[in-house]
Amino acid sequence: MDDSRDPAALHTPVMLRRCVELLAPALDREGAVYVDATLGMGGHAEAVLTACPTARLVGIDRDTDALELAGRRLARFGDRVTLVHAVYDRFAESLDELGLREVDAVLFDLGVSSLQLDEPERGFSYARDAPLDMRMDRTRGVTAEDVVNDYDETALRELFYRCGDEKLAPRYASRIVRERADERITTTGRLVEILQAATPAAKRDAGHPAKRVFQALRVEVNGELAALERALPQALDRVRVDGRIVVESYQSLEDRFVKRLFAEASTSTAPRGLPVELPEHRPQFELLVRGAERPPLDESETNPRALPVRLRAARRIRRNDA
């Protein structure tokens, strides 16, 4: 990694102003704690710490390169910043290690960062030839090469359907298995060639054939959906009364899970037909946005990576024991 690079120039945070607007009201007290569960290069964190001068940050990320860059970017905030190397499903464990029971605000900005996409050797991009890696944390775990070469045809087909919404999943899985029988598939360029060859001519103008397959592989390699399913309930549990949580999702499976969990947390548990809602049945959260917010048009035009984002936000209004 080039240590001279400017983190601010590498990545443009998505819906930055809106995230700060939603999180800041929970951070107006001395010593308020903001958890950025997907710190990346620290763009959102920098904006929140600037807007909320008495707040402190716990920044979590699995990518050691991102943590190093974010650390330099946030150095001016001194001891207001604590960085944690972890996957966000260690949310509660990370807070326990810091002696924090509750926090005031939480942000999950899901998906892959520009740092990962724009470094060819990371293997996230189908536009550049590189080793098939795709690990956000390069210190551990299976690679995309392992998945492509070791999963059987059924597993690949189901992965491309489930995590990529890829309609051509059967064709792609079959072609991959056939090609790898002759030689192990080790690079993004070779995988792209195989996918292009397996794409019917009539479908070749409907977007790049590798886009959804690469998404599915990235999600699988990094256990993104499973991590989110473990992490978000932990985060909701740790948000204090009047605290806020914001989630930015970039694919439908993530957003559907966030939508369901937020809906459950913001819905009364009173049995149907009960004439009076008892206090213990009242929702614990209220939704702060109607449905899922999309980025403004001008942002989508200047930052194409903002196009798929769906933002949801909620505020805790009570606890079970309150």
User: DSSP character for 270?
Assistant: P
> Nearest to residue 250, comparing CAs of 226, 224, 231, 227?
224
| CA–CA dist 103, 82 (Å, integer) | 14
109 close to 245: Cβ distance less than 8 angstroms:
no
- Please give the C-alpha separations between residue 111 and each of 193, 243, 310, in angstroms, as whole numbers: 25, 24, 11
| CA–CA dist 245, 235 (Å, integer) | 8
| CA–CA dist 189, 60 (Å, integer) | 32
Residues marked as binding?
Answer: 42-44, 61, 88, 109, 116
> Nearest to residue 104, comparing CAs of 287, 315, 262?
315
Instruction: Give 83's strand partners.
Output: 59
| CA–CA dist 322, 317 (Å, integer) | 10
43 close to 8: Cβ distance less than 8 angstroms:
yes
| CA–CA dist 249, 151 (Å, integer) | 27
Q: Which residue reads 């001016």 in tokens?
A: 76
> Nearest to residue 98, comparing CAs of 34, 50, 51?
34
Residues marked as binding for S-adenosyl-L-methionine?
Answer: 42-44, 61, 88, 109, 116
43 close to 113: Cβ distance less than 8 angstroms:
no
Rounded (10°) angle between helices 188-198 and 169-180: 120
115 close to 41: Cβ distance less than 8 angstroms:
yes
